[in-house]
């Protein structure tokens, strides 16, 4: 039997045939990467700077009495949690507590708010009085830097979000989101207050009374665990519609015609600073900054997803493979006041967050990271995303060589 032999020329010809296919596949894969990864909207994340518990506790009385009271006690910036509760005694109701937070919700001038989401972390819950839900309502305290007992009724009980059921109020601490349904309430040039209360209290609807029972839905305070679980708000915004340039109008008279021009549109100077207390923007997915770990040379990102993370990229470069649904990544060796982008990936989830390191002078307002950059993560990272296509092409060539 004569065994057929492949010459070097045969192998070279086979490689020439396969090479365009491999290149075309990689180009298609690269384009596909550009298409499937979303471009983020302009986003600012701002952490609560003030919080407190406001309550009325003074003997047996009706539920409606406590709902309508003007206030009795206040605890500013408690060490661990802000309380929302309703409690009964042996004869009647004995207390209701509400929690309040204040957040800097300033966005750059010339922008319009498109969405707002308040995030808190559940601390503790009890339901001996029933599995009641939590509501987020309007809160207009006398001051956003320190609450007084009279702020207990600094609300008109207007709900700003869908209620969170008792079952969905996690206490891991777990992240709990309230999507704001009335963007006109958000003060885009200063601070906005939010109050949290038992839904039955908001609706003045007394639960079925039982002696010596309680419903408690507590939230991690600004100070809890060194500020690791601060409440925060995520604001998305975009450019306002440009004002059309008015057409000059001509007024004819018996004398020489004169032209009367209307006032030209006002132009805005691009904003180059972030509001005080805001350190991140362009958030996509469930990824946040651990504010307590932010220094002049390092930052730590945190996420909590339903599926395992398979890849992490820092500043557009692939940095490591991962296999955890809930974990952190610490970036080190940064310069003060510099922006850095972290991205996390798996088969169905994508997360991105741009944050800035602290500066030597912490009161200095910080420059905004450009938000027009494509959300692709860098050429090296894209190459690694489709390593399998390169490997398949090389494998085919090796099989031909062995024949």
Rounded Cα gap, residues 68 and 77, in angstroms: 24
Question: Is 272 within the bounds of a domain?
Answer: no
Torsion of CA 199, 129, 101, 142, to 10 degrees: 80
Indicate whether 49 and 31 sit together in one domain: no
Both 173 and 195 in one domain: the answer is yes
Same domain for 18 and 141: no
Residue 193 shares a structural domain with residue 49: yes
Domain contains 131: yes
Q: Which of 114-128, 196-210, 362-376 has the lowest mean pLDDT?
A: 362-376
Task: Name residues whose C-beta falls within 8 Å of residue 265's C-beta, 6 or more positions apart in sequence.
Answer: 242, 243, 244, 245, 246
Last residue in a domain, options 209, 236, 263: 236
Please state, in angstroms and rounded to a whole number, the distance separating the CA atoms of residues 109 and 175.
30
Q: For the segment 249-291, what is each residue's pLDDT rounded down to a tens digit?
A: 545 444 444 444 333 333 332 333 455 566 787 777 778 888 7
Decide which of 216, 236, 256 is a domain's last residue.
236
CATH of the domain at 309: 2.60.40.10
35 vs 4 pLDDT, higher one:
4
- Is position 317 within any domain? yes
If asked whether residues 167 and 201 sit together in one domain, one would say: yes
Domain-embedded: residue 249: no
Do 216 and 123 belong to one domain? Answer: yes
**Which token pair is 374?**
């494509």
The more confidently predicted of residues 372 and 87 is: 87
- Give 166's DSSP letter: T
271 in a domain, yes or no?
Answer: no
Residues 72 and 211 in one domain: yes
User: Could you tell me if 348 and 204 lie in one domain?
Assistant: no
Within 13 Å of residue 139, how many CA atoms lie on the same side as its CB?
30
Record the pTM. Answer: 0.60
CA distance 217 to 171: 9
In a shared domain, residues 147 and 227: yes
Q: Is 10 or 159 the better-scoring residue by pLDDT?
A: 159
Residues 74 and 103 placed together within one structural domain of the fold: yes
Identify the domain containing residue 337 by its residue range: 283-375
Q: What is the number of domains present in the chain?
A: 3
3-class DSSP state for residue 279? strand
Q: Are residues 83 and 193 in the same domain?
A: yes
Q: What sign does the dihedral 187-193-196-202 (CA atoms) show?
A: negative
Indicate whether 246 belongs to any domain. no
Domain co-membership, 67 together with 192: yes
């Amino acid at each position: 039997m004569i065994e057929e032999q492949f010459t070097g020329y045969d192998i070279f010809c086979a490689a020439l045939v396969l090479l365009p296919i491999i290149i075309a596949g990689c180009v298609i894969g690269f384009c596909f990467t550009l298409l499937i990864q979303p471009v983020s909207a302009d986003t600012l994340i701002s952490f609560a700077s003030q919080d407190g518990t406001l309550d009325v506790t003074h003997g047996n009385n009706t539920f409606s009495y406590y709902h309508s009271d003007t206030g009795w006690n206040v605890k500013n910036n408690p060490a661990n949690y802000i309380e929302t509760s309703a409690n009964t005694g042996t004869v009647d109701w004995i207390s209701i507590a509400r929690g309040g937070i204040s957040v800097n919700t300033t966005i750059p001038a010339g922008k319009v708010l498109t969405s707002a989401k308040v995030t808190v972390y559940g601390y503790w819950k009890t339901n001996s009085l029933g599995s009641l839900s939590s509501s987020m309502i309007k809160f207009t305290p006398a001051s956003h830097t320190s609450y007084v007992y009279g702020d207990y009724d600094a609300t008109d009980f207007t709900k700003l979000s869908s209620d969170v059921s008792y079952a969905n109020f996690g206490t891991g601490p777990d992240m709990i989101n309230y999507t704001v349904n009335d963007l006109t309430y958000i003060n885009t040039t200063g601070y906005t207050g939010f109050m949290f209360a038992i839904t039955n209290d908001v609706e003045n609807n007394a639960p079925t009374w039982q002696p010596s029972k309680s419903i408690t839905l507590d939230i991690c305070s600004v100070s809890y665990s060194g500020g690791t679980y601060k409440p925060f708000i995520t604001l998305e915004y975009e450019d306002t519609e440009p004002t059309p340039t008015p057409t000059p109008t001509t007024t004819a008279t018996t004398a020489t015609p004169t032209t009367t021009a209307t006032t030209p549109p006002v132009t805005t100077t691009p904003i180059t600073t972030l509001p005080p207390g805001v350190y991140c923007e362009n958030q996509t997915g469930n990824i946040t900054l651990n504010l307590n770990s932010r220094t002049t040379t390092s930052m730590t990102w945190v996420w909590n997803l339903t599926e395992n993370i398979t890849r992490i990229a820092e500043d557009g470069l692939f940095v490591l493979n991962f296999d955890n649904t809930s974990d952190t990544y610490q970036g080190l060796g940064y310069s003060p006041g510099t922006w850095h982008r972290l991205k996390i990936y798996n088969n169905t989830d994508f997360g991105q967050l741009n944050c800035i390191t602290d500066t030597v002078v912490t009161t200095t307002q910080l420059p905004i990271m450009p938000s027009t950059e494509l959300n692709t993560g860098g050429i090296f990272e894209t190459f690694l995303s489709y390593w399998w296509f390169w490997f398949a092409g090389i494998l085919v060539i090796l099989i031909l060589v062995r024949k």
